[in-house]
Amino acid sequence: MRVFADIQELTAAQGETLGPTDWVRIDQTRIDTFADATGDHQWIHIDREKAAAGPFGTTIAHGYLSLSMLAFFSPQLLTVTKRPAMTVNYGLNKVRFLQPVTVDSRIRDTAVLSEVKETPKGTLLTVSHTVEIEGQERPALVADSLGLWVA
């Protein structure tokens, strides 16, 4: 994890690579819980028998589950000692799901602090994430996350 003293130090780190994070296993319980939370109970995610005969030979994580893991990984990538009063998820750019995450795979995140920009609302951070799957050449996903840091 990269520790920054304040937003100025973070701004100076624009372009730097952050991570990688620790590996985390995506097990069937996590997939089932996500299915329950979203109402997306498609067989490819939750029906082990049917998925075993499907295109991946097992169940796979929802793409949005893999994407939501950015919230889990982000605190492992960076922290700021002198925190702003509030940080807000401001959205995403350029999200691509490149490869499914099969059940019991381990994933981790590496990111680049792409842009740090002052706006009238606060400091807007763009972080370019690459979520990789252990033992695979292609990542699970790439995405630019936007965070607004308000003093």
Per-residue pLDDT of the chain (151 residues; tens, 9 = 90+): 899 999 899 999 999 999 999 999 999 999 999 999 999 999 999 999 999 999 999 999 999 999 999 999 999 999 999 988 999 999 999 999 999 999 999 999 999 999 999 999 999 999 999 999 999 999 999 999 999 999 8
Q: What angle do CA 20, 24, 29 make, to 5 degrees?
A: 160
The first and second tokens of residue 147, run together, are: 């965070």
- Spell out the residues 6+ positions from residue 126 whose beta carbon is closer than 8 angstroms to its own: 93, 113, 114, 115, 116, 117, 144, 145, 146
